[in-house]
Structure 1
């Protein structure tokens, strides 16, 4: 089990995007209103994943086990030069973020992970509330563009100068 400090260092860090950090913070505490959580509160709603309709929509399923999410993660892992082995649970995801000996790679993983969580949650809400489903490749393209913009906006900060090269190579 990870300590609270270990869980929070992937949420709050210099250069993070506040709305991404907030979504990651709520997800990290397993407090996002997923369909399974809403149903457990007595709401008469379907519990199936909004992105794939296959299994119960829990945090771990939505962000890690869902086939739609896996497609997005495969592209992100390629960008992060990481083995293509996907995570099986939230703790593995947090461990992966911290597993590099390089501070720059860890920073890139934090930015990418937060962008993935934010954009997958946004897409999930788009499906639930607007009935609009975008292909996973379109969501990845949005994540890619967002990560590039984050890095560009912070390129003069310590640790960010080489991130664009790392992300795009």
Structure 2
């Protein structure tokens, strides 16, 4: 049995890696994965031309939340969800968050970017 750690649960387990691949592709990044929490935090704080920083942070928060929720469902309820179903929940969360803040200037371009690589 693999020891539970933050890096394993949220970045390196099979489900986490699958979900991160889907999320990063949706943001327009070529396939890469985070292997440490430090590299994930660096990515979250680094501005680049591929994706708005606000959207990166929103996606990072949504992925971590859904992965933790999935971990708890599996551990406490014995219910396992597929990676595709988890990503569908993340997608819905991102869309709702953008739509809920659509009057804020910084949120205007986010939906277009989120849907660009769908």
- In structure 2, the residue matched to 1:132 is 79
Any idea what SS the aligned residue of 2:61 has? Answer: helix
- In structure 2, the residue matched to 1:147 is 94
CA deviation vs aligned residue, 1:109-153 (integer Å, no higher than 9, x gap): 000000000000001101111100000110011001110000000
Structure 2 regions of 5+ residues with no counterpart?
none
1:76 to 13, 19, 23: 23
1:113 to 38, 53, 60: 60
- How far off its partner does 1:79 sit? 1.1
- In structure 2, the residue matched to 1:40 is none
- Segments ≥4 residues shifted beyond 6 Å: none
Could you tell me how far apart the structure 1 residues matched to 2:23 and 2:58 are? 11
| Greater relative CO, 1 or 2 (CA 8 Å, sep 6+) | 2
| TM-score normalized with structure 2 length | 0.92
Any idea what SS the aligned residue of 2:35 has? Answer: coil
| TM-score normalized with structure 1 length | 0.65
Could you tell me how far apart the structure 2 residues matched to 1:106 and 1:83 are? 17
Structure with more helix by fraction:
2
